[in-house]
Structure 1
Amino acid sequence: MNVPVLLVEDTPSLQVVYKSILQNAGYTVVCAGNAREGLTAFRENNPDVVLLDLMLPDRPGQDLMTEFLHQRPTTRVIVITANGSINRAVDAMRAGAYEFLLKPFTEQRLLHAVETARAERVEPASTPPHPAGFLGSSPTMKKVYSRIASVGKSMATVFITGESGTGKEICAQAVHEASNRARGPFVPLNCGAIPADLLESEVFGHLKGSFTGALSDKPGAAAVADGGTLFLDEICEMDLNLQTKLLRFLQTSTIQPVGASQPRKVNVRIICATNRDPLAEVRARRFREDLYYRLHVVPIHLPPLRDRGGDVIDIAEGALTRMAAEENQSFTRLSNEVKTLFCQLPWPGNVRQLLNVLRHAVVLFDGPEVTLDMLPVELLHERDTVVTSTVTSGLATSGLLGKSLAEIEQMVIEETIAHAGGSVPRAARILDVAPSTIYRKRGQWNRPES
C-alpha cells in the first residue's frame, strides 16, 4: 500500500474522518481541499485510487476527474456526492468514474469501495476477454465485452437493455463472474413472470402466517443473494408500489420480510434488465423516475442479432456442435445456402429464435450438413417476406412513374429472380404465381430462360 490514496474533499471535518478511517486500515492518504490542490497532488503522487467530492469550491469535481483520467486512464476514481445529487453520480459513472459513494456512507462502505478499486489496479487488456456464454466478435459485441470487463469489479448497479432473446441474463451472469462477488450467489428473478401480489414476498421474503398460504418462513431473493448479485429481469414490469420499496432497499441496503417487525442488512449488488425502453416507461409514469436514475448507473445495451453481422454464423456453428452432441447426431456444418440465409434474416426473436431453428433441424434430421430443406417452413416464409420487402424498396427508389404496366411487371419479376439467387421456382413462390408463367413471360421478352 505504498502508493497513496488521494482524497479531494473540501469539508475539513469530513476530510479528517475519511483520512482517519483509511489510515487505520493501513492506507497512506494524501489530502487536498480543492481542485487546484487535488491536481497538484495527483501529479506529484500518481495515485491509483482517488476519492473525489463532486462539489468543490473552485471547479466542478467531474471536470477534475476528466483531467485525472486523461493524464492516467487506469486511475480508479471514486466520486462522493450528497444523497440528493444522484444524477451527478450517474453522469460521473458514465464519464468514467469507477464507483460512487452517497453521503452519508458507512466506514465499511468506504473501505469496501477503496479495497475493490485497489484490487483492480491493472492495465486494461488491448482486446476485451470473451465472457462465458457469448459468441461472436463483431465491433458492437466487442464494446459489450469491454463494458462487462470494466464494470465487473465495481459495485455500481448495472442496467441491461435489449430485445427479447439477446442474452440479457447471460450478460448479467458475466458481470457477476467478472466481479469480486463471483464466489457468492447469483440469484435471477423475473419480475414479469411473478404475480404482483406475490412479487414482494419473492424479493424480500415472508414470515410464517404473514398472509394466507404462508405456511413457513421463506427468505426472499434479496436475502438469498446476500454476498452476491441479485438480477432483476424485466424490471419495468414491477408494480409501482414495490418499486418504492425497492428504492428504499437500494438506499439503505436493508430488507424487511412480509410480516417482520425489524429490517435486516444485506450486502447485495443489483443488476437489472428490460426489453422495453426504460425512459419511455418513465415518461408513461409506469416506472419511477427516481428509481430509474438510481438503477441506470452503468448501462449495457445488447444489440439485436440482425446488427451483429457474421456473429450469427459463429453462434449457429457453436450451437450446432453442442446440439449434435446432445442429440447424438452427426451434424458438423451449415451449408453455404443456409449461411447466406442466416445473414439475410431479420431474426425478430434474436439468438433464442436462432437456437430454436437449429434445434428443429438437429432433432428431425441428421447431418453432416444443415441444408435449406431442413429449416422450419415459417423461416423460409420469413425469408420470402424479406426478399419481397427488399424488391419493393428497390423498385420504389428506381422510380416507376412514366413506365408502362408491362415494363413495371418485367422489373418486378426480374428483381425478384435476382433476389432469389436466380431461381425462377423460388421467385414464383414469392410472387405467388406458377413458374411456367414466369418462363413464358421471359420468353416473350426474348431473354434466355433460367
Structure 2
Amino acid sequence: MMESTRVLIVEDIVSLALTYASQLEAAGCQVEVADNGEKARYYIEAGQREQQPFDVILLDLKLPDVDGLDFLADAPELTQSASVIVITADGSINRAIQAMRLGAYDFLVKPVSVERLTTTVKRAGERLRLEQEVQVARSLQRREQFQGFIGGSDVMQVVYRAIENVANSKATVFITGESGTGKEVAAEAIHELSQRRSGRFVAINCGAIPENLLESELFGHVKGAFTGALENRTGAAREASGGTLFLDEICEMELKLQVKLLRFLQTGMVQPVGSNRAVPVDVRVVCATNRDPLTEMSEGRFREDLFYRLSVLPIDLPPLRQRGGDVVLLAQAFMARFSAEEGKAFEDLDDETQQTLHQYNWPGNVRELQNEIRRAVVMSAGNKLSLSHLGAGATVPTTCAKLAERESSQIDLSPDADDALTGLSFQGLTLEQIEKMAIEKAIANNGGSVPGAARDLAVSPSTIYRKLEKWSLTGTSS
C-alpha cells in the first residue's frame, strides 16, 4: 500500500517539487524535498542512519550542483536500496535511458500527470517490497503446488503469496504476463481462496467475441434490442453476481465498450443493451492481458482512466524461462498425466532431457511445454521420453508472427497447429498467402469455428475475424 512508501523528491524548481509532494502526500506517501544533490545525499544518509530509508527517489536529471547521471554513477548502491525514478524534459529521453542503465527503475517526462506520477511511485515502491517478499519466500517453507499451479521457484512463491493476499479484497485485480503463463489459473485461484468461492466464477475472453456482441455478453440485453435478440439475456456480469467476473484479454476490448466498462466499475450498475433501467450487481472483477497495458495506453488503444481503475492490485506472472527448475517439475507432472491417459509408462526424465528442457527458451511458456510433453508421450517409443522434436515446425510460425507483428496483430502458431499445416506446400507463396492457408486449414479442422481455430493457433479470435474481413474486401486468394 502507498501509506508505507517514503519518497524523496530531488527537484530544484520549487513549484514542481511542491506540486509533486502534495500529490503524493494526498496518495498517502511520506515525502521529503531536496532542491540540490548535496541536500539529497544528506537526507538519504540521515534516513539510513535512522533506519528509515527512502523507498522511492524522484530525481531530476538537471540539478544546480550536480548532473543527475553523475549523482547515480557516484552512488551505485543507491539503486539497490531504493527505486529511483528520474524526471526529464522532452528533449532528454536519451539521458533518461542512460539513467536506467545505471539502475534507475523508471523515468517520467515533464509535464507529469497526477495519475502517472502516483501510479509510477506506487509500482516503484512495490518493486522493493517484491524483492523483500522474495527474500522472505526463501526463508519460508516452499510450496511446489498451489491452487492449480506447479512450481517451487522463488518468483512463484511470491505469486502464491500475492494471490493469498488479494483473495479477500473487494478491489479489482489486474493480472499481466505472457501468453501461456497461467493467468486464468491465477484468477480461479483468487476466486477459490476468496469469501466469494460459493458464488460463480464467470470468464469472458474479450478477444474471442466480436465487438458488436461483447457488450451483450457482458451486460446482457432485452428481447428485440437488436437483430437476433430473440429473448432476454442476463449477461456475464449478472451471472457472476455474488462471485467473480474474469475478463481475459482485456486490452482487446474496443474503446467504446471500455467507457461502459469503466462506468460499470464505478457505479456497480449494469444496463442491458436496449434497456433504460440499470441493475445493481455485486461482483468482484479480475482481469488479465498478455500485452503491456502501458504501451497500449500510450498508443491510444486502452483508456488511461480504465487502467488505473482496474490496476488496483496488480499481479505479474513470470515467463517459464525465468522459473528455473519449475520447467522440470511441470514436465514430470505433464508426463505423468498424459502417460496415464495414453496407457504408457516412462522412466523419470534423465539429465540430458532435463538439460534440453532448461536450454529451450519456451516462447509459449507453460502451454507450449504442455503441448510438447503431450506430443512426446504420444510419439515416443519405449520407456524413455524423447524431446528430439522440441520446437519443430517453428519456421513458419515465426514467419507468421513477424508478419502479424508488423500488422499490429499477434499470429503465433502453437505446436498444436502442426496438424493444420500438414501437407501444405509453401514454395512460391507470399507470407500473407501462407498465413491465409494456415488460418483456413485451422478453421476447417474445427468445423468452421473461428474460436476453435484461434485456440489451435494460439491467437485471439478477433485477430482472425479482422483478417477474414480484410481478405473478403481485398479478394486475396491463396
Provide TM-score, normalisation by structure 2: 0.55
Residues 337 and 93 of structure 1: is their aligned pair in 2 closer, same or farther, counting only changes over 3 Å? same
CA contact (8 A) 1:87 1:293 kept: no
CA contact (8 A) 1:186 1:228 kept: yes
Matched, 1:218 2:203: no
CA contact (8 A) 1:256 1:264 kept: yes
CA contact (8 A) 1:128 1:146 kept: no
**Correspondences of 1:406-421 after superposition (within 5 Å):** none
Matched, 1:242 2:257: yes
CA contact (8 A) 2:27 2:118 kept: no
Q: What do the CA deviations read for 1:216-258 (whole angstroms, capped 9, x no partner)? A: 1111110111001111000000010000000000000000111
Give the secondary structure class of the aligned counterpart of 1:218. Answer: coil
Matched, 1:284 2:305: no
Matched, 1:189 2:170: no
Residues 372 and 263 of structure 1: is their aligned pair in 2 closer, same or farther, counting only changes over 3 Å? closer
CA contact (8 A) 2:201 2:245 kept: yes
Distance in 1 separating the partners of 2:395 and 2:332: 19
CA contact (8 A) 1:86 1:294 kept: no
**Correspondences of 1:62-77 after superposition (within 5 Å):** 62-63=28-29
* Shift of residue 377, structure 1, vs aligned partner: 4.0
- Give the match for residue 341 of structure 1: 356
CA contact (8 A) 1:335 1:371 kept: no
Residues 187 and 326 of structure 1: is their aligned pair in 2 closer, same or farther, counting only changes over 3 Å? same
Match of 1:351 among 366, 383, 387: 366
Matched, 1:251 2:288: no
Residues 249 and 172 of structure 1: is their aligned pair in 2 closer, same or farther, counting only changes over 3 Å? same
Residues 222 and 128 of structure 1: is their aligned pair in 2 closer, same or farther, counting only changes over 3 Å? farther
- Give the match for residue 364 of structure 1: 379
Long gaps (5+) in structure 1 = 1-54, 71-84, 97-123, 383-450
CA contact (8 A) 1:161 1:275 kept: yes
Long gaps (5+) in structure 2 = 1-20, 32-51, 53-113, 127-136, 398-478
Residues 343 and 135 of structure 1: is their aligned pair in 2 closer, same or farther, counting only changes over 3 Å? same
Distance in 2 separating the partners of 1:142 and 1:284: 34
Q: What do the CA deviations read for 1:177-230 (whole angstroms, capped 9, x no partner)? A: 121111111111100111001100010011111111111111111011100111
Q: Percent identical across equivalent pairs?
A: 51
CA contact (8 A) 2:321 2:361 kept: yes
- Give the match for residue 171 of structure 2: 156
Distance in 2 separating the partners of 1:182 and 1:232: 17
**Correspondences of 1:385-400 after superposition (within 5 Å):** none
- Give the match for residue 232 of structure 1: 247
Distance in 2 separating the partners of 1:354 and 1:365: 16
Match of 2:218 among 187, 191, 203: 203
CA contact (8 A) 1:365 1:374 kept: no
Residues 90 and 175 of structure 1: is their aligned pair in 2 closer, same or farther, counting only changes over 3 Å? farther
CA contact (8 A) 2:246 2:285 kept: yes
| CA RMSD of superposed structures (Å) | 3.6
Match of 1:262 among 277, 290, 302: 277
